[in-house]
Amino acid sequence: MNSQTQLKHLHGILSGRAMFSNLKQEDLKFLPSKGLVHDHIQIAGNRSGCSTMLIRLPRLSQFELDPNKNLEYQAACFSKASLSNHTPKLIVVLEPSKFLPMGALVVEEIKGKSINLPQDLTEMAKCLAQVHSLEVPDNYEKYPLICHSDPIAGVIKIINDQSKFINGVIDNSQVRKVLSEEITWARNFASRHVNHHPPPRLCLTDTHPGNFMIDTSGKVYFVDLEKALYGSPAIDLGHATILTSTLWDFDVQAKLSRVDIINFYQAYLKFLPVNLQDEIRPWLLPMRRLAWLRSVTWSCKWSAGQHNSKRIETGVRAQIQTHISNRLAAFVDLETILSIRSEWVGPNQLVLT
């Protein structure tokens, strides 16, 4: 289906709702692609208190959910996280249909730009602290979000599942050896903390810096909420500032110094209530290590999937796919791995507490 046909069908679906009764097809505009998982369409005009809105059109589910479950999950991510006032608000859910096979979400558009690192690290820390400080609901109210009642065991399961792809995509025996050592450490760490682990809180999961925006007032928002879950906030912090993440996005490219990283963590802790500071502080470095290992093993899984995929991207998406392939190769580059690993192995370990 070409873009104009898709806009025509979307206009027909939306204009049947009172909020969009005066919507014109020309009010809908595809935005430039930034990834392979979603398309975004801007809705011009002031409605429901928003100057503009975005339609998020899923192209696939990274949790491998069917279209209805995937849409329900993403809607819940937006609804729960928006209580922080640092994520877009959910406006409307458009159920899967013939012309919307994956459905769509209409959400508030955050007017702003990509963050700039390291300048915006403090405001990024504040954004994360506000989300992580949200009250944790009772179990039945967490649905449908994944809840890692033991956040260490939860991330270890993800790492174990993804690690099955390492040997199939990594030829370098030294890289495989280092990853094997890290996975052994992770499993032993989990075993030692079966009865002592951080309590779960709402986490954003995919917290690479490209998923944050800063508005004209200097406030930072997290805008890509499809993978939120209840787990360890320290995982979000690690993923936000590890080298593989800070070089991931087209628009946000930065190599943070150790001073930058330490300042980020210190700022984050100051934004938390004291009880949460004490709860999270002991887990900062080990969860940073697990966040990195989760990313590296995910890169192996993604690379294996792309190798077996028959989908051929064109135009901007082909450029994005090439960028992703290059970044994934850097994830498993031995020099990069050893540089990152020096944060927790060797004589010059990172001190975050």
Residue whose structure tokens are 């994005």: 320
278 in the same domain as 217: yes
175 in the same domain as 33: no
CATH number at residue 257: 3.90.1200.10
Find the domain containing 31 and state its range: 3-109
102 in the same domain as 208: no
Ramachandran angles phi, psi of 229, nearest 5°: -160, 175
128 in the same domain as 7: no
CATH number at residue 23: 3.30.200.20
From first to last of its 353 residues, the chain has per-residue pLDDT tens of 678 888 999 999 999 898 898 899 999 999 988 777 899 999 987 766 667 899 999 998 989 999 999 999 999 999 999 999 999 999 999 999 998 999 999 999 999 999 999 999 999 999 999 999 999 998 778 899 999 999 999 999 999 999 999 999 999 999 999 999 999 999 999 999 998 888 999 999 999 999 999 999 999 999 999 999 999 999 999 999 999 999 999 899 999 999 999 999 999 999 999 999 999 999 999 999 999 999 999 999 999 987 555 555 566 667 777 778 888 889 999 999 999 999 999 999 999 97
Cβ partners under 8 Å of residue 338, min gap 6: 178
Cα-Cα-Cα-Cα torsion 22, 24, 27, 33, nearest 10 degrees, comes to: 120
Ramachandran angles phi, psi of 55, nearest 5°: -100, 125
The residue out of 63, 82, 109 marking a domain boundary is 109
Q: CA dist 73 to 69, 156, 185, Å? A: 6, 22, 32
List, edge to edge, every strand of the sheet that includes 90-94: 28-30, 38-43, 53-58, 104-108, 90-94
